[in-house]
Structure formats: C-alpha cells, structure tokens
Chains A and B, each alone.
Chain A
C-alpha cells in the first residue's frame, strides 16, 4: 500500500546554493513561484527529497520549510494577483 502526501516547500537559502535547490526541486515538484514548489509525492519520494535537500543546504545559514498535507484536497489554494505557473496538465 503506497501512501502519498501533498507537499508545499518554501526556501530561503544563500545565493550560492539557490540554483542547486531550485534545479533539484524542479525535477521533483511543480514550480509555483520564486522559492515555492508543490506537488503530490509518495512517502519514499518525500524521504528522498528531504535527504537530497539536506545535502544541498548549509544547515547553519539556510532555511527550508516543508508543509505536508494528507492530500491536495486537505489544502486550500487561493491565488491573489497572478498565478505564475498554473498546474494544469493540458498545455
């Protein structure tokens, strides 16, 4: 039985590492806007993302916050102003 979670990741990291964090997260989750990613992942993907982020960041200087929800439906999403990157699958 595979369990999934919906993740919202925000980060504030040193300029030297910001690109590495961004390009890594781009392979795993949807880019929402600057320094914000989200998406549904399995438990094992979740662990992999945490491990990989810990490897990239400098624990003394950077901050990454991972919000997790039971499912996408457990979260409300309300966009004010522009939606920089809609999540639709039809392009």
Chain B
C-alpha cells in the first residue's frame, strides 16, 4: 500500500458504536453479526463494532454473545425509559492484580481516597465553570470550590459537589427558553424535558465510560467519590462526573438553542417526561457525532476524540495509583 499518500488523521475510530432503538434480534451467522427487525436485516461487521447500546426489546442468541465476548465488545442495555439496566461485560483480557491492589489501597487509605474524591469533584466543577463561562453566565463555582480543601470526609466532598451542581443547573436555566428550564432536578422519572435529557444523557455517558474502563486494567467497581457498593460500576460514576458538563450538558444546551430538539420529541405523561423514539434517535446521533469529534491534545501534541479523552482519563488514574504521576482531572481547555 502506498503509505506516502496517506493522511495522518489521528482519529482512530474505525470501530463504531451502534445504537439499537428498535425491537429486534441480534444473531450471528458465519462470524458476523446481523441485526434483524421487521423492516430490515443488516449485517454489522464484527471488526467494526466498538460497543452496542440497546434501547429496544432485543433478543440475542448465545452465539452472538460468544462472538461479542471473543472480540471484547460490550453491550449496554437500557429500558424503555432510557434508564440504564445493565451491561454485557465480556470476559476481561486486561487483568492486572497489581492495579487492583493499588485501586483498593487508595480506597482503604482515607487520605488517598479523599484526595481522589476531591480531584473528581474539582474536575467536574471546573468543567461546569467552563460551560457557564462559554455562555457568559456568572457563577460562584470558584467560591464553593474553596470548601473542597476543608472537606475531610467523602460525604462532605459529595455535599460540595451537590451544592455546585445545583447552582450550576440554576445558572443554566437563565439561558434556557421557557419550557426547557430545568427547575428542580428530578430523576426516575424526570418531570420535564431538560431533566429527561439530562437523565438520558447521563446514563448514556455512564455506559460509554464503562466501555472505556473495560479496555483498561482498572476494576470498574472500585471507586473513590461514589461508594464502591455492590451491583454497579461505581468507578464509571466517578469518571462520568468529569465529562458530564463537556459532553452531555453542552450538547443539551446546544440541542435546545438550535431547536434541534422540540417538545414533540418527548413523551409527556402525567408526572413524567421522557424522550420518545424520534427524540432518542436525534439525541443518540448527536452524542455519537460528539464522541467522534477531535480536539488537539496539548501534551500529546495530536488530535484526540472525546471518546479517547475518557480513556486517557483512565490511564491517568492508573498512573496515579501506581505512583507514577499525580492525577490531574481533565478540564476542557478549548
């Protein structure tokens, strides 16, 4: 092949995320995957899949799961409302006892844990501040952030985060049109349109982070800011905090401001509000586009995608845990 003619494009996204929003069947035939629903039968090249997000009623054959497992492709499942219900997390191939021990050590040692918990909150807060200043909204995030250094328990750190986030949502409301204001943050179920998008987006991002963690040696259940409880990938919750403002909130604001998402993209119930099918598809398309968007990375000196930024964050955490380099959270620099 003529490599001289190749452009250095820096974006290694040859594997894509697939988002299944309709009901159907995922099966394997001759080492490739087929998605079949009432309207179509689509072969999906196995070497082209990064991960799958499933929002419809999906039937999967065990042969399909075996193939996905062999290729290390996770599937994330969401229920009809877009709430995360679970993942097919293939057998791990990147195992490191050393990293897991270091991860646990940083939870057990109170000072080490607080340091990381604070870093995640600081990262989240500084990204929230970037979002607000992008829209020219004054805010007191920096002042609240000063309380972080005096918070000596994880609960205190969480409280600082909660206060910042609630001020942040209030501040965002000042630039949102009537009808799209957040008001009070409501979950399960969200009660208005923007709350619906925040919930949907946060679940989506959480799954994206799970995929990235799957591709590292980190154990996704050992976390610092969130309690490492059972039955959830709480490290993905920690890392999601940092990326919510940049990836999800900015996107929601832009979808609203550009009128790309309208009231008819939601299902309005008595006391709930959810994205309907057209809304979900619009949201997912925009999310996928943004994950693939690239920014010039200062230290690496090359372009990296948003998706890659999440992986780099996991790598930075590993370096911190094994004592190579102190963790500095990602803060949007553009």
Contacts and interface: CB of A to CB of B under 8 A. Distances in A.
B is bound to A: yes
Contacts of B43: 26, 31, 85
Interface in A1-46: 1-5, 23, 26-31, 39-43, 45-46
A39 B5 CA distance: 18
Interface string B6-47: 111111111011111110100000111001010010110111
Interface stretch (B79-87, B202-210, B280-288): B280-288
A38 to B, nearest CB: 10
Given A23-B30, A29-B48, A45-B47, A85 B42 contact: yes
Interface string A43-85: 1011100100000000000000000101100100000000001
A5 B5 CA distance: 10
A23 B31 CA distance: 8
Contacts of A23: 30-32
B271 interface: no
A23 B35 CA distance: 16
Contact of A41 (B14, B31, B42, B281): B14
Contacts of A50: 1
A44 to B, nearest CB: 10
Contacts of A46: 1
Interface in B281-308: 281, 284-285, 288, 302
Contact of A43 (B3, B13, B281): B3
Nearest to B5: A70
Contact of B12 (A26, A31, A42): A42
24 contacts: A3-B8, A3-B9, A4-B9, A5-B6, A27-B45, A30-B48, A31-B43, A39-B14, A39-B48, A40-B14, A45-B47, A47-B1, A71-B9, A89-B17, A89-B18, A90-B19, A90-B21, A90-B284, A91-B20, A91-B22, A91-B24, A91-B35, A91-B37, A91-B42
Contacts of A39: 14, 45, 48
A47 B13 CA distance: 18
Place the interface of chain A in its size category.
20 to 34
Q: Report, nearest first, the 7 A-B pairs whose CB atoms are least far apart.
A: A70-B7, A26-B32, A23-B30, A90-B19, A40-B14, A2-B12, A27-B32
Nearest to B6: A3
Contact of A26 (B3, B19, B30): B30
B179 to A, nearest CB: 26
A46 B6 CA distance: 12
A14 B112 CA distance: 65
A70 B14 CA distance: 13
Nearest to A39: B48
Contacts of A74: 7
Contacts of B13: 40
A46 B37 CA distance: 31
A91 B18 contact: yes
Contacts of B21: 90-91
Nearest to A72: B9
Contact of B3 (A3, A27, A30, A40): A3
B167 to A, nearest CB: 35
A41 B42 CA distance: 20
Given A3-B9, A90-B281, A42 B14 contact: yes
Given A31-B43, A39-B48, A85-B42, A90 B285 contact: yes
Given A27-B47, A68-B1, A90-B285, 9 more contacts: A26-B32, A27-B45, A30-B48, A43-B6, A45-B14, A70-B7, A89-B18, A91-B40, A91-B42
Contacts of B285: 90
A57 to B, nearest CB: 18
A17 to B, nearest CB: 14
A91 B14 contact: no
B5 A30 contact: no
